[in-house]
């Protein structure tokens, strides 16, 4: 069925039936001129947009996973600020001659994310377009601790940490764009696909960072670890030294990199869309911090240190020290 056959309001009714849920903090939800919500704590706000053909492709990721991932990307932003996700507004620009099923699938994926992260979609907008399908997410989060986590604040002597593992999503994009799906063992291909299609926002880790007063800076890894490290270094006015052998790269990424003839570290540093957290903790807090995360079942790796010097990032390798350039996804220049 085509979108034009059901019309704007028919489409909204179908989307509402998928996404609406009971939420006592929502005083007025979908269906009025605006949503009315209640908060007890300071609010973090973020927004993100995705365009088909640029941020997602039907042959690389199914529409339901696109919906799920679109919310996770914004949830990761508020987690990096030390907040829990609360409410979202979703705007869709839908091709006039498009079919309705991809839109419904996107919302089914969003429903999965809402259930997984205790989030409510409370409204939005639907418009037609002569261009590709576009989604815009506006999302709010409620601060967990007494202060937001920010990119600034790293101090000389602090330890650099990262949650989870990195490089899987970047390796998947490389694999698909170079038509190399068949070179990997099935379990490795599944790992790369899952990292790209179904990332996990680090909300539980953010709760610990926000309440323990041990985190001096934080950032989420969306454009690539190298880019996010530079943002911390610049905001904090410090230099970061990262140990190559400490980068948490999963075996599947290393297997693919070897078969593809590329460096696994490039996927870790510049691949992006990992949605892990990177940041700094005071040196004397690093041990208790690791123990606390381990007790909660959260993987964390110390990957480097904060040094005095001009803002920048170096990679410490077996052969010496290399500059990590500020490369990552740039909306106006692709990989920069």
Give residue-wise pLDDT tens across range 19-63: 999 999 999 999 999 999 999 999 999 999 999 998 999 999 999
| Res 331 pLDDT > 50 | no
Tokens 């869709």 — which residue?
Answer: 92
Radius of gyration (C-alpha) of the chain in whole angstroms: 20
Tokens 């088909």 — which residue?
Answer: 52
CATH superfamily of the domain spanning 159-335: PurM-like C-terminal domain (3.90.650.10)
The CATH class of 3-143 is alpha beta
Residue from 262, 284, 81, 257 nearest 183 by CA: 257
| pLDDT band (50, 70, 90) for residue 328 | low
| Res 89 pLDDT > 80 | yes
- Render pLDDT for 175-217 as a digit per residue (tens, 0 to 9): 999 988 888 899 999 999 999 999 999 999 999 999 987 899 9
Q: What share of the chain has pLDDT > 90, as a percent?
A: 89
- Render pLDDT for 234-292 as a digit per residue (tens, 0 to 9): 999 999 999 999 999 999 999 999 999 999 999 999 999 999 999 999 999 999 999 99
pLDDT reported for residue 335: 52
| Res 171 pLDDT > 80 | yes
Q: List helix spans (H) across 20-100.
A: 63-80
Domain with CATH 3.90.650.10 in the chain: 159-335
Q: What is the mean pLDDT of the chain?
A: 94
Tokens 């908060």 — which residue?
Answer: 39
Q: What would the mean pLDDT of 55-81 be, rounded to a whole number?
A: 96
Report residue 284 CA to chain centroid gap. Answer: 29
Neighbours of 182 (CB within 10 A): 7
Largest CA distance in the chain: 63
Distance CA(23)–CA(63), nearest Å, equals: 26
52: DSSP letter? B
Structure tokens at 225: 């670890």
Distance CA(158)–CA(150), nearest Å, equals: 15
Distance CA(243)–CA(108), nearest Å, equals: 41
Distance CA(138)–CA(298), nearest Å, equals: 28
Task: Specify the pairing of strand 334-335 against strand 120-129.
Answer: unpaired
Q: What share of the chain has pLDDT > 70, as a percent?
A: 97
53: DSSP letter? T
Q: Is the pTM of this model over 0.85?
A: yes
Domain with CATH 3.30.1330.10 in the chain: 3-143
Q: List helix spans (H) across 88-224.
A: 101-117, 168-177, 186-197, 203-211
| pLDDT band (50, 70, 90) for residue 330 | very low
| C-alpha distance from residue 155 to each of 159, 209, 220 (Å) | 9, 16, 19
Task: Specify the pairing of strand 83-95 against strand 120-129.
Answer: parallel
| Res 110 pLDDT > 70 | yes
């Amino acid at each position: 069925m085509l979108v034009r056959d059901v019309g704007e309001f028919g489409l909204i009714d179908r989307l509402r039936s998928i996404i609406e849920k009971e939420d006592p903090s929502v005083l007025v939800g979908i269906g009025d001129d605006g949503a009315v919500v209640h908060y007890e704590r300071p609010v973090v706000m973020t927004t993100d947009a995705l365009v088909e053909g640029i941020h997602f492709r039907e042959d690389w990721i199914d529409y339901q996973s696109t919906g799920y991932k679109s919310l996770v990307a914004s949830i990761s932003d508020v987690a990096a600020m030390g907040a829990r996700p609360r409410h979202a507004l979703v705007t869709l620009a839908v091709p006039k001659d498009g079919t309705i099923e991809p839109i419904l699938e996107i919302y089914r994926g969003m429903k999965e994310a809402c259930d997984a992260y205790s989030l409510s979609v409370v409204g939005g907008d639907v418009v037609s377009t002569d261009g590709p399908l576009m989604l815009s997410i506006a999302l709010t989060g409620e601060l967990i601790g007494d202060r937001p986590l920010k990119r600034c604040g790293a101090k000389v002597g602090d330890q650099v940490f990262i949650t989870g593992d990195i490089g899987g999503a970047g390796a998947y994009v490389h694999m698909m764009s170079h038509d190399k799906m068949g070179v990997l063992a099935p379990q490795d291909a599944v790992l790369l696909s899952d990292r790209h299609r179904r990332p996990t926002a680090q909300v539980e880790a953010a709760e610990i960072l926000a309440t323990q007063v041990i985190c001096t800076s934080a950032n989420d890894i969306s454009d690539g670890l190298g880019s996010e490290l530079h943002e911390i270094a610049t905001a904090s006015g410090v230099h970061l030294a990262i140990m190559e052998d400490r980068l948490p790269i999963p075996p599947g990424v290393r297997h693919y990199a070897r078969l593809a003839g590329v460096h696994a570290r490039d996927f870790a540093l510049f691949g992006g869309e990992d949605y892990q957290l990177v940041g700094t903790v005071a040196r004397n807090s690093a041990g208790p911090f690791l123990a606390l995360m381990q007790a909660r079942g959260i993987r964390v790796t110390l990957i480097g240190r904060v040094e005095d010097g001009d803002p920048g990032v170096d990679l410490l390798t077996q052969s010496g020290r290399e500059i990590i350039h500020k490369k990552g996804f740039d909306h106006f220049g692709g990989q920069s």
